[in-house]
Structure 1
């Protein structure tokens, strides 16, 4: 029987004690956030109901463009704060009050009086328009919560306004395979999965896609989620996402990048060619556009299904997953843009995050800088170009796959951050 060094024994006991502390802290601990998720179902409206949905979308588009034009008019006339000429000779227009969410929302009352056909739209659906306009306009001028600004908002062309939302919904209006939408009627729903117990429907969004109509249910769990009872902090993995392999795990497991867009390029080019050959405004061009949209939707749906299955497989095997905080928007502007968008890392991380919370597990985002350059064995910085796929450390002589080295560093950083979270709580 081999003897165990006292130092190794102390490390073993320390890790066991840390696991016990983590279990005690997490087993009875509850998160301050409620579980929120969304389910999407396909609906089968009859001909009359489909016309109502199409008319609603078109009327909302007109109103969106009108309220956005009001904002632009105010912006153009109020760029300068000077409201009079110093000589008193020339006339300058008076400064107008800035349109905001409340003023544009109040104008909807007069809208229904002057255009009675807008009464066919539920008030909550109509009130979403000034909210969308305000968000789009503020992101252009002020930026989001992180200060990042978006581009100038665009007017919606015909068929470009595709979603409307009921901000409040009665749970009793969704029974079995029927949903009751105000001003539209009872519509058949293809329920491919049941809503989990304890979840309440908060909002309902109706979307028109290339292959039909869908509803998205925003669900909120009344119960506060807890960390699962048998949570093991030592069961942690780091994953390094990439373009050759979709991810490489710190235990050596790999998932090959599926490259759905690349594989569908021939079909997409053929469908796009048919659109360009059709005469503008013709029925044949409209059919070709629908065919092209269906091809793009198929690629997006296949990618999303792959992301869900990959996230499920990770969370079945590990209790803690460490990932990099990547600037995907920045990478999507580089020469690798097509491949980055095809991989869909942002969608995968968001799916993994939601699923981890719902399962009572942990996802730890870590800093991405230096994970590929730093040696996972000794910590030495080993500079290498993107084309160098092997990590060869001159200090400790370790040689391994570049992505595997990065994933081990991500795991180590994730374990460190997890301990810091536990100690601070």
Structure 2
């Protein structure tokens, strides 16, 4: 089963825009109420059996079961009888909000994520079940048919591939407008790409965005750092405005649009770089970095600006789409190993940008040497004969 997600710009009317905003507000209330219900149940089970907290205590009967997704869906159905506002959004939309909360708790239990937080804003809602004719074209325009909303005009920037069916639609609100993320499904099995052709190892860094084992260095554009000056000016103007005024709302919208512009520029750079790497080789190896640790150090702003996690996910997707083999290898000690003789060269300072082996005399750029070690480890991990690098200049 092959799944794809295509994103299209929506062109709603004023009435449809108000409906989207109202549904998002209702989804936020349902999410926060369900989270409060779960949080109260957890807090009521925290105190000792023979004492209570001096400050406050949650008194919930001991026979009350733990709130789960199924129980909260039943509670939501009963609440619709007394709260007419809950009848406005589609039933599946509100159920997906509760499923999103359940997924947040599962991520906390199984993957070590933090406790779910209350939401000030809801930015999207999902229609999980759609018919085969959700996307239509008539009167020279493209439309998407959303349950209980109707036909919404859409800019079909690229056609939907043949053989794919629309299974799910997520409506996302951003500073530049509303977008529809269509989940497409096709009943085919696509084999994973196999190791073949010319291999390329990449080393990610801050001085250069990445270095390849072929000796190519790609500079980091630093999108957020370059756009920080405009953000400071807008935020300084916002500080002088009265909170809640018309001018204050306009400046907040400008700040949000500038953040979106920075994000889109970074993502566009990641996609173009991924395609460029796929043009260079048929097998790509990258470091399996600990991104959480990298983004909490002294260079956290520049690390987050580079967006290594997003780039590796995009690179994996592009490699799969173009039939290029991709895998990640152990990143430990890549800059302390000679790619020619495998000797341990010791720890290098960040200011030392040249790799020079005292054993064999191999000399090259530090990041290029690390990328060559990544390439060798990738070949070794799949049982392939590792490449040997000759004399460098």
TM-score, reference length from structure 1: 0.84
- Out of 155, 161, 164, the residue aligned to residue 199 of structure 1 is 164
Structure 1: gaps of 5 or more residues: 1-33, 86-91, 421-425
Asked if the contact 2:196/2:325 (under 8 Å) is kept, the reply is no
2:31 corresponds in structure 1 to: 64
Q: CA deviation at 1:208?
A: 0.8
CA contact (8 A) 2:41 2:60 kept: no
Counterparts of 1:180-219 in structure 2, within 5 Å, are: 180-219=145-184
Tell me how far apart the structure 1 counterparts of residues 36 and 163 of structure 2 sit (CA, whole Å): 43
Matching residue within 299, 306, 324 for 2:262? 299
Counterpart of 1:392 in structure 2 is 356
Give the equivalent residue in structure 2 for 1:50: 17
User: Offset of 1:84 from its aligned partner?
Assistant: 9.6
Q: Which residue of 2 is the match for residue 413 of structure 1? A: 377
Q: Deviations over 1:208-263 (max 9, x none)?
A: 111111111122332111367xx771311001111121111101122111111111
Picking from 77, 84, 103, the partner of 2:71 is: 103
Asked whether 1:366 is paired with 2:295, we answer no
**Does the aligned pair in 2 maintain the 1:239–1:250 contact within 8 Å?**
yes
Report Cα offsets for 1:96-151 as digits up to 9, x if no partner.
Answer: 321011100111211211112322211110101211222223444x242xxx232x
Q: Distance in 1 between matches of 2:98 and 2:371?
A: 45
> Match for residue 319 of structure 1?
282
Task: Tell me the equivalent position of 1:127.
Answer: 95
1:17 maps to none
**CA deviations over 1:268-301 (Å, ceiling 9, x no partner):** 1111112222111212111111100000000000
| SS, match of residue 125 in structure 1 | helix
Query: Aligned equivalents of 2:308 and 2:60: distance in 1?
Result: 50
- Between the aligned partners of 2:343 and 2:271, the Cα distance in structure 1 is 36
Report if the CA contact (8 A) 1:207-1:215 is conserved. Answer: yes
RMSD: 1.9
SS at match of 2:122: coil
Q: Cα offset for 1:199? A: 2.6
Residue 124 (structure 2) pairs with residue 163 (structure 1): yes
- Distance between the aligned counterparts of 2:192 and 2:366, measured in 1? 33
Aligned equivalent of 2:41, options 49, 54, 74: 74
1:241 and 2:241 are equivalent in the alignment:
no
The C-alpha deviation readout for 1:3-47, integer Å capped at 9, x for no partner, is xxxxxxxxxxxxxxxxxxxxxxxxxxxxxxx43331111101001
Q: Is contact 2:130-2:167 (8 Å) kept?
A: yes
Decide which structure has the larger Cα Rg and report it.
1
Please, what TM-score do these two structures have when normalized by structure 2?
A: 0.90
Residue in 2 that maps onto 1:329: 292
Structure 1 residue 417: Cα displacement: 2.1
Specify which of 118, 131, 136 is matched with residue 175 of structure 1: 136
- Tell me the matched-pair count: 372
d(CA) in 2 for partners of 1:227 and 1:281?
53
The offset of 1:355, in angstroms, is 1.5
| Larger CA deviation: 374-383 vs 200-209 | 200-209
Q: Decide whether the 8 Å contact of 1:83 with 1:93 is kept in 2.
A: no
Structure 2 equivalent of residue 279 of structure 1: 242
Q: Distance in 2 between matches of 1:223 and 1:138?
A: 30
- Asked whether the 8 Å contact 1:236–1:319 carries over to 2, the reply is yes
Write the deviation string for residues 375-420 of structure 1: whole angstroms up to 9, x where unpaired: 0010111121222111111111111111000000111111122337
Whether 1:251 aligns to 2:219 is: no
Moved more, 265-274 or 191-200: 191-200
3-state SS in 2 of match to 1:169: coil
Provide the residue aligned with 1:20 in structure 2: none
For the residue of structure 2 that corresponds to 1:134, the secondary structure is: helix
Residue number in structure 2 paired with 1:113: 81
